[in-house]
Amino acid sequence: MFKNLHVAIPGLFLMGVVSMSNADQKISAQSPPTATDADAFIKNAEARLLELNTVASRADWVKATYITDDTEFLAAQADERAIAAQVEFAKQATRFDGLKLPADLARKMMLLKTSLVMPTPADPQASAELTKIVSGLEGAYGKGKWCPPGKDKCLDIEDITRLMAQSRDPNELRDAWVGWHAVGKPMRKDFARFVELSNQGARELGFKDTGALWRSKYDMPADDFAREVDRLWEQVRPLYVQLHAYVRWKLRERYGAQAVPANGPIPADLLGNMWAQSWENIYPLVAPADAGPGYDLTEILKSRNTDALGMVRYGEQFFTSLGFAPLPQSFWERSMFTKPRDRDVVCHASAWHVDFDQDLRLKMCIDITSDYFQTVHHELGHTFYQRAYRQQPYLFRDGANDGFHEAIGDTIALSITPQYLVKLGFLSQAPDPSKDIGLLMQKALAKVAFLPFGLLIDQWQWKVFSGEITPAQYNRSWWALRLKYQGVAPPVERSEDDFDPGAKYHVAANVPYTRYFLAAILQFQFHRALTQIAGCKDPLNRCSIYENKEAGARLAKMLEMGESRPWPDALEALTGQRQMDATAIRDYFAPLEKWLEEQNLGKPIGW
C-alpha cells in the first residue's frame, strides 16, 4: 500500500502477476476459510507490501532527487511491482468476505480493499484496456498546451497558471481559459469507457461502483458519507456566500457591469485560477483598505540571515516545544532542503517515510520567504505524524482517513500567528487586531473559496460512476454542480461537445478529491480544539499552540493511533468530538465574516 505522501500515482491501477507464497497457496486450497487463514493471509500481505513499498520508496526518492531516464525507469519498475501486489492482495481478500474476524483483522481486510482507487477487472483483456485508457488520459492532460494565436510559443498548464494568476486583461484571461479547456474535449469517449471498466473492477470487489468504493473507506456506509459531506458544506456555506458576494462586486468594479453580473455567478476566468478553486491571486483587487499586517516575515527572515537549514530548524523547534522528540540525525543527513546545482530534481515540497519506520525525510527547494516558512511547518506536520504511527502494524501506518494527514500539516501552519513570531523574537509585539482583516481575507481567498470546489469534484465523479450522470450529460452536469456549489459560470457558452471536467488533473488522472475538502474542514476543528486545550483566550485566528505541552500530548495521542481505529475515534482523541464540525471555520473567520456582512449591506447576496 502506498502510504508515502510523495507518491503521486493516479490510482493503484496497474495489474501484474504476483507470485503467491506457500502460505497463500495453502490458504487458497482450503475451503471454507477460517479466521486463522485470514490472519496468516494478512501477515503475509503486510510483510510483502512493506518490503515492496520500501524498495519502491527508495527508488522514487532517487528518481525525485536525481532525475535521469535510468532512475525514472527503475522507479517505474519498483512502483509497478508494488502496485500489482496491492491489487492482487485486495482481490484475494474478498475470499474472506462475510467471515467473522477480530476487529483489528477485519479492519485490515477493509483497508486492503478500500485503499485501491481503481481496481482493474479480473479479465486480462479488460484490465489491459483500462490501464491503457488511464495512462492515455493522464498523458493527454500532461501533454496539453494552448497555442495563443500570433504567438511563437505554446503554453503548458504551468505557463497558463502563471498567466491566470497575474493577468488583469479580461480578453487574455478568457482566451487562456478557453484554450486550456480544449484539452478535455478528446477525452470524453475514453473517459466513458474508463468508467465502465473501473466499475466492473469495483463490483468484483463487492462494491456497487467505483464511487461507492471510494466512499466506503470512511468508516460509514457509502451513502451516509455522501450526506455527511453535504452537512459539512451547509455549516460553512453562509461564510462562503458572503465572501462570494464581496468578491463579485469588487470584480464588477474592476471589470465592469457587462463582464460581471450584479447578482449572478462569477465568470470562472476572473478569479485568478484556471479552475476558480482558489482566489488568493486576486487579493490585490479585493484587499481591504489599510490591510497590511504591519510586518514582512520574508524581510525579517532575510535580515536574520536565515538559511534553508535554519528554516527547517524553526519548524522542528515548534514540535519540540510541544514535547515531541527531535528528529533523528538521519533526517538531517538524507533530506533535500535546497536545489542542487548539478542535476535536475523535483522541487515540489513533500514529506517522505522511506522505510515506514525511522527513515524520515523532507524534499524541498527552500527559498527564504514567508510562504516557505509556512510550508516547512506544514510538511513537518506530515513528518511527525509519520513517526508517531510507525510502531503500528503496516496496514495501520497512515492517517486516520485520507483527510487527516493534510489537515495535521495545515493545523500546525495555522499556529504561525503574530503571537508565535513574537515568541521567536521576530516581532517585538503583535500588531493591533485591526490588522487581522487583511490576513484573514488572504487566508479566506485560499481556504474558504476552495471549499465548494473541494466538494463538487467528487460529487460529479460519484454521480458518473453510479450512472446518475450519463455520458450525454457530462458537461452540463459539471457546470450545474459548479453553479450550485461555487456560484461560478463558464466565460463562454459550453456544450456537450466539450468535456470540461477533463481539464482538471484529478479527473483525468482518476484521483479522488474529497480528501482535500475534509482536510480543509478538519484543520480548523483541530486548531480550535488544541487552542482550547492550550487555554488561549484570544480570537481563534490569533491563537498558537507553540510551547504548550498539554496540547502537544493530546496531538501525539491522536497521531500515534494512525489508521488503527475508525477516524471518529481518532477525532475524539484530539477534539472530544466524534463528528466532523465545520463551525470551527466560522469561528476562525468570525472577524472577517462580520466585516464582510458590513461591506455587503444593500448588495445582492447569492446567485
**Catalytic-role residue among 46, 88, 316, 379:** 379
Separation of alpha carbons 366 and 244, rounded Å: 34
DSSP assignment string, 10-24: SSS------PPPHHH
**Catalytic-role residue among 72, 204, 506, 572:** 506
Nearest to 318 by CA among 217, 406, 420, 230: 420
Yes or no: say if 144 and 156 are a contact pair by the CB < 8 Å rule: yes
Query: Largest Cα–Cα distance in the chain?
Result: 74
The yes-or-no answer on residue 506 being catalytic is yes
Separation of alpha carbons 313 and 380, rounded Å: 10
The yes-or-no answer on residue 405 being catalytic is no
Separation of alpha carbons 313 and 347, rounded Å: 19
Q: How far apart are the first and last CA of the chain?
A: 44
The grid coordinates listed for 40 are 496468516
Yes or no: say if 263 and 600 are a contact pair by the CB < 8 Å rule: no
The grid coordinates listed for 326 are 527531535
Task: Give yes or no for a cis peptide into 288 (omega within 30° of 0).
Answer: no
DSSP assignment string, 490-530: -SS---TT--GGGGSHHHHTT---HHHHHHHHHHHHHHHHH
Yes or no: say if 281 and 272 are a contact pair by the CB < 8 Å rule: yes
Beta bridge partners of 360: 353
Active site residues: 379, 506
